[in-house]
Amino acid sequence: MPTRRNFGLMLGAGALAGCATTAPMGFSDPLQPSGPLRLAPVHVSEDRVIRVIAGLRPFRPGGFVVRAEPFGGKTLVHNYGHGGGGITLSWGTSHMAVNLGFAGPERDYAVLGCGAVGLATARLIQRRGGRVTIYAKALPPETTSNIAGGQWWPASVYDSKVATPQFMDQLVQAAKLSYHHYQQLSGPEYGVHWTRNYVVDEDRFGAGELFARMSGMAPELRTAAPGEHPFGKSTLQYWDSMMVEPPIYLQAMIEDVLTAGGKIVVRDLKTAADVQALSEPVVFNCTGLGAGQLFGDKEIMPARGQLVVLLPQPEVTYNLMSGRAYMFPRRDGIILGGSFDKGNWSTEPDGELTSRILADHKAMFAKLKA
């Protein structure tokens, strides 16, 4: 008899097999280009919108926090504030956090939060032999991690005017750790796959410190010469990275935690006293925005992001970015994004912003020749 996890995998594999298609003739495979590059266009129009969602990124101008401190009779390990890089950096900062707080196998650990960061932290503790209970106000699909594009790249993690050189070193270290962890999860089971990224009219790797320091995590990084791409006189830079599909990935991670003997408790911890009342002697704080209320972090703030999702197009197998606009194709639809509104706590879709995102993407694809 198949286990619950195996049954889920069989269903997932069947669904993915049913959705997988070969790119239509006449378009290049973005990972194996042959001759002049041709890309299947995305059909951007209002009548193809299937949903609009908004989420709040936990942003800190100084960057994420990974730090251990005494907490009454407990040890409290912070691992929060990842901005737009929560999924991307989750395994890396969790690796660093567990190094700080792991007190040995066969002991009890509490993890606060059930998004990508909390789940990665729990799994790393379990891999070392610890017993884990996750305490969370909300579970997937009601977490911030579910409302994410899912491209593997640490975007919008810090303010370059505020972040210190020490933080930048920590960020690159976390990115490298996470990059290697995710490669081991590549495949339909976790919704992780490699794809090609194209950037129009920008030299991202030549313009910023972070991109330059992370070029080793951008395989096949190239700038296409005129005549080699379908964007006319525009410049085109491309590289390969991983895509993480949150609906698949987060569910698989939850099943991994439960299969390894972990527990998940839905509980709204409102104060530090509520955390103190937990029985576990070591607590990992992966609450994102919740760290402001729970532990008094005055730097953390929401950075609202809105996604417009179009009907799926299986023939679109690449990511495309230009300025503030970005397009990621996923099994559940074509993801259009491009907003980062600091200090906005609203999770209600904004109609004007939807129109602006659609207009930005129409303009981006207008550059793509027929």
pLDDT at 154 over 80: yes
Q: What torsion, rounded to 10 degrees, do the Cα atoms 176, 177, 178, 183 define?
A: 90
pLDDT-derived band at 17 (thresholds 50, 70, 90) equals very low
Q: How does the average pLDDT of the chain come out, rounded?
A: 90
Angle between helices 246-259 and 116-127 (to 10 degrees): 30
pLDDT at position 339 is 96
pLDDT at 278 over 50: yes
Q: Are 169 and 78 in contact (CB under 8 A)?
A: no
In terms of DSSP H, where are the helices of 184-322?
204-207, 209-213, 246-259, 272-276, 290-295
Q: Are 103 and 88 in contact (CB under 8 A)?
A: no
pLDDT at 301 over 80: yes
Q: Are 15 and 189 in contact (CB under 8 A)?
A: no
Can you name the residues that pair with 198 across neighbouring β-strands? 238, 320
Question: Cβ contacts of residue 138 below 8 Å, gap of 6+?
Answer: 114, 266
pLDDT at position 144 is 87
pLDDT at position 21 is 39
**Residue scoring higher pLDDT (359 or 38):** 359
pLDDT-derived band at 33 (thresholds 50, 70, 90) equals low
Q: Are 249 and 242 in contact (CB under 8 A)?
A: no
pLDDT at 35 over 70: no
pLDDT at position 20 is 38
pLDDT at 27 over 90: no
pLDDT at position 300 is 98
- The least confident of 52-66, 230-244, 268-282 is 230-244
pLDDT at position 31 is 61
pLDDT at 305 over 70: yes
Q: How far apart are the first and last CA of the chain?
A: 52
Average pLDDT over residues 216-230: 90
pLDDT at 54 over 80: yes
Domains of the chain as residue ranges with CATH: 59-179+246-301 (3.40.50)
Average pLDDT over residues 12-18: 34
* Residues 163-220: tens digit of each pLDDT: 999 999 999 999 999 999 999 999 999 999 999 999 998 888 877 788 889 989 999 9
- The least confident of 12-26, 191-205, 268-282, 308-322 is 12-26
pLDDT at 14 over 90: no
* Residues 59-107: tens digit of each pLDDT: 999 999 999 999 999 999 999 999 999 999 999 999 999 999 999 999 9
pLDDT at 303 over 70: yes
Average pLDDT over residues 142-167: 93
